[in-house]
Structure 1
Amino acid sequence: MASKGHKISFISTPRKIDRLPQIPQPLTPFITFIKIDLPKVQNLPDHAESTKDLPFNKVRFLKIAYDGLQTPVANFLKRSSPDWVMCDFLTYWLGPIAAEHGVRMAHFSVVPALMLSFFGSPDVAMYGDDSRTRLEDFTKRPKWVPFESEVRPSIFQLTRNHEHLNAVEENVSDAYRLGATIRGCDAVVVRSSYDFEPEWLNLLKELYQKEIIPAGLLPAEATEYSNACWIQTKHWLDMHEKGSVVYIAFGTETKPSQYELTQLALGLELCGLPFYWVLLDQRGLSDDEVIELPRGFEDRTRGRGVVCRGWAPQFQILSHDSVGVLLIHSGMSSVVEGFQLGKPLVLLPFTADQGLIASYLVEKKMAYMIDRGDVDGSFTPESVAESLCFVMASEEGKMYREKAKEMMALFGDKGAQNKCVDELIHFLYK
């Protein structure tokens, strides 16, 4: 939007803004960062301003702190009088504040429409649905979905999300936050496209009775790095044959359990394939449950595998010819980056949103998912090894390699993406 001459004010907390990459010089006149200090609340560690800074059991305190931003955000809207304000679901209180100051509000969803649809209408999200009283009920297709679909989360994925979906102590549940945000907004902008999930986008229009505008799939932009980390990584990748390396990453927030880490590591060892693994073993300094690789794993796989415990230039690594398969959690950013580069996907979802996206990709035969127990999430090293080898090299798995190449046209089409942004801007002018 800034590249088309529109002025953007990006509001966030200081540490989050400081983490952002440098804006390209031609765009600096159009983007202004607005830093608002996060209020201090009890039980929230110092310097924790995002979910990646915290273990799961402390994330709710971050949300409580964000609720303390209402006054400074209201003051900004009053002072600057923007045409629109876009927000995620956390700031469920923003709708009435925006309306009071004559500012239109749009909810921007980083998850696709299929995920939003599972929550139902705003009222259902806020107050629940009498037909879904047990956790098991949420693994079935909701009654308001009129078409056949096998998209669903598993029990273990829902259990992992249970605390976030329900109110805990003084915190407001994520479901209520989403419903209230939708109720208070003028439009919903979704990171999606009608080419990717037409039925779910159309359903969302019916559920919300609001304008639904796909922003496109927002493919990543190539960024050149020349630091020591990338030089060393590129040297290692250059040593391997085209399409032979497995890249493993589960995003900046998904931390496996100790059991999951062990099974995954043993599976990587068993498969014999070269791998590059970006491992999150701790969520912030206050996370005292640091997971550990099996004893001797890194020694036994030295030369064949790399374990990176820090930041890695993911898009640049995925762009390398030696990377043949991605083992990911099914987060949309990783899905988009993989497909825009034509890399086949092996999926290992951990939480409900990841499970829904993964099951949709499997339903559309776009990706392959490692088999896990529905109730306890169990899986074996053998299933990891077999899944990777199946997609990487087998004749039967060729369909996934071909599908990934086919998906490049959908996920990497900059022209289609530009059209979505143009249509979004046209709507905002109305």
Structure 2
Amino acid sequence: MATPTQEEQHLHFVVFPFMAQGHMTLMIDIARLLAQRGVIITIITTPRNAARFKATLDRAMESGLSIRLLEFQFPCAEFGLPEGCESFDMLPSFSLALNFFQAANMLEKPVRKLFPELTPRPTCILSDVLLLYTLDIANQFQIPRIVFQGVCCFLLVCLHNLRISNVLDQVTSETEYFVMPNMPHEVEFTKCQIPQVLYENLKQFSEERKKADLESYGVIVNSFEEMEPEYVKEYKKTREDKVWCIGPVSLCNKEAMDKAQRGNKASVDEQQFLGWLDSQKPGTVIYACLGSISNVTPPQTIQLGLGLEASNRPFIWVIRGSDASNEVDNWISENGFEERTKGRGLVIRGWAPQVLILSHPAIGGFLTHCGWNSTIECISAGVPLITCPLFADQFANEKLAVQILEIGVRVGVDEPMRWGEEEKIGVLVKKEDVKEAIEKLMD
């Protein structure tokens, strides 16, 4: 009989990450974890996405891991996307979301053509749930397709229970609270806090995604049973027990270099902010970052900054590139913000190595949009949350963190910031809300 190691040497997983910063980062971590167990890995992606992770994958391959990249051109122009828009976080408007999903799934033809040439013969497809075409390829070549879900089991159970009940039919408005049916805990939602309910143009794609998901062999989830045991158990019931919680996958990044270069290149020298963090007392610094695909308006961004200033606590504030408009830049530099917070505040524009920052002992709280990657990375680091959800799965993640796990404090957002309608909505969180939440968490 072959030993496990011998068996693993014959395994060849073809990995299909969805083209978005957060999705790619997780799938690269999973690919490395599998390769460390002797599995041969082929990653299917596009040139710009491959470039983002080149340093990480080069180090992995230099260490002897069997990982290879296959790059395919992304059909931007064919689907009305800007040239070079190969990642979801590059979209100029959410109105192009469906175009992007459709473009991502048009890689089927070139991938299908190349698939028989892969050696050794692939034994499994590991696919992001948003790449529906991989089910057809798995069926054609008679290999299992395992879906990757980049969300928590709590949300997956919520969505399942909504599908098999008629509770939403009885809700008369987007802001009316209702109790999520058949849950281990009593949790209330509004209709507008549920992912995808707000976007009519995505309903058909969402239904097709659910169908492809259920027809797949099984599911892996970036979560762990000790954190949400009741919901892992409930979700397994919906998938005939073929659910494997493999998280937090970010923990595979042991070395400082892996943490620093996990994704995009940092917009500042990591030694600069690590030196600054080293000078702070343990558990005193607020880390504030609202994710890689949020479009926060300048007035809202300024209110967050004023709240951080009013807290009178040291902070690291990450401002996404698209949020750092001229208005915000002028306010930071010309209205005295930098001078007033000099020495106790550090502003990073663009991308920051979040896992590296959260793992530093000086961090005492994380002001977050509650994207699942950020939430589980924060939990892994043992850092409590200040929750400021914006859209998608983030309200569900907030409820898990604050109401069920009791490891966070709400800023007080009840309605989502609809992508593309940010200017209409205006300011959801004022500086007083931010200051009060920080004080409640830290005192």
TM-score (norm 1): 0.78
* Aligned AA (1:390): K
| Deviation for aligned residue 1:317 | 2.2
The question of whether the paired residues in 2 share the 8 Å contact of 1:262 and 1:294 is answered with no
State which of 351, 354, 358 in structure 1 corresponds to 2:398: 358
The question of whether the paired residues in 2 share the 8 Å contact of 1:3 and 1:27 is answered with no
Deviates more, 1:54-63 or 1:243-252: 54-63
| Deviation for aligned residue 1:6 | 0.8
| 1:137-286 map, 5 Å | 140-143=178-181, 145-150=182-187, 152=189, 154=190, 157-158=193-194, 161-162=196-197, 165-167=199-201, 173-209=204-240, 211-220=242-251, 221-225=253-257, 229-282=269-322
* Secondary structure, aligned partner of 1:22: helix
Evaluate the alpha carbon distance shift between residue 204 and residue 72 of structure 1 in structure 2; reply closer, same or farther with a 3 A threshold.
Answer: same
2:90 matches 1:39 = no
| 1:266-345 map, 5 Å | 266-282=306-322, 292=328, 295=331, 296=335, 297-345=337-385
Deviates more, 1:317-326 or 1:292-301: 292-301
Distance 1:99 1:39 in 2: 24
The question of whether the paired residues in 2 share the 8 Å contact of 1:246 and 1:325 is answered with yes
Cα deviation digits, residues 127-167 of structure 1 (max 9, x gap): x9873676639963444x34333163x55545x8556x532
* Aligned AA (2:370): S
Deviates more, 1:255-264 or 1:350-359: 255-264
| Partner residue in 2 for 1:10 | 43
Distance 1:36 1:111 in 2: 27
| Partner residue in 1 for 2:429 | 379
| Deviation for aligned residue 1:89 | 1.9
Cα deviation digits, residues 274-306 of structure 1 (max 9, x gap): 1111111418xxxx9877268323343233212
| Deviation for aligned residue 1:198 | 2.0
Distance 1:49 1:290 in 2: 25
Number of aligned residue pairs: give it: 380
Of structures 1 and 2, the one scoring higher in RCO (CA 8 A, sep 6+) is: 1
Distance 1:311 1:95 in 2: 33
Distance 2:297 2:360 in 1: 30
The question of whether the paired residues in 2 share the 8 Å contact of 1:84 and 1:106 is answered with yes
* Aligned AA (2:317): W
Distance 2:44 2:255 in 1: 24
Distance 1:73 1:275 in 2: 46
The question of whether the paired residues in 1 share the 8 Å contact of 2:304 and 2:431 is answered with yes
Distance 1:383 1:28 in 2: 50
Distance 1:319 1:348 in 2: 21
Cα deviation digits, residues 99-147 of structure 1 (max 9, x gap): 121111011111111222232279x49xx9873676639963444x343
| 1:105-120 map, 5 Å | 105-120=145-160
**% identity of equivalent residues:** 25
TM-score (norm 2): 0.76
Distance 2:351 2:411 in 1: 25
The question of whether the paired residues in 1 share the 8 Å contact of 2:145 and 2:216 is answered with yes
Cα deviation digits, residues 29-71 of structure 1 (max 9, x gap): 4111111111232420111111111133333221121121111
* Aligned AA (1:298): E
| Partner residue in 2 for 1:30 | 66
Evaluate the alpha carbon distance shift between residue 202 and residue 341 of structure 1 in structure 2; reply closer, same or farther with a 3 A threshold.
Answer: closer
* Aligned AA (2:303): Q
The question of whether the paired residues in 1 share the 8 Å contact of 2:151 and 2:221 is answered with yes
Q: CA RMSD in A?
A: 3.1
Evaluate the alpha carbon distance shift between residue 280 and residue 57 of structure 1 in structure 2; reply closer, same or farther with a 3 A threshold.
Answer: farther
The question of whether the paired residues in 2 share the 8 Å contact of 1:282 and 1:290 is answered with no
| Partner residue in 2 for 1:427 | none
* Aligned AA (1:9): T
The runs of 5 or more residues in structure 2 that have no matched partner are: 1-33, 261-265, 417-424
The runs of 5 or more residues in structure 1 that have no matched partner are: 395-430
The question of whether the paired residues in 2 share the 8 Å contact of 1:96 and 1:184 is answered with no
Deviates more, 1:234-243 or 1:8-17: 234-243
State which of 352, 359, 368 in structure 1 corresponds to 2:409: 368
Evaluate the alpha carbon distance shift between residue 161 and residue 88 of structure 1 in structure 2; reply closer, same or farther with a 3 A threshold.
Answer: same
Cα deviation digits, residues 189-239 of structure 1 (max 9, x gap): 111222122222222233344611212322331333499711221232233
Distance 1:383 1:130 in 2: 31
| Deviation for aligned residue 1:252 | 1.7
Evaluate the alpha carbon distance shift between residue 140 and residue 202 of structure 1 in structure 2; reply closer, same or farther with a 3 A threshold.
Answer: farther
* Aligned AA (2:40): K
| Partner residue in 2 for 1:52 | 89
* Secondary structure, aligned partner of 1:247: strand
Evaluate the alpha carbon distance shift between residue 382 and residue 209 of structure 1 in structure 2; reply closer, same or farther with a 3 A threshold.
Answer: same
Distance 1:236 1:99 in 2: 53
Distance 2:287 2:396 in 1: 22
Evaluate the alpha carbon distance shift between residue 352 and residue 63 of structure 1 in structure 2; reply closer, same or farther with a 3 A threshold.
Answer: closer
Distance 2:317 2:184 in 1: 38
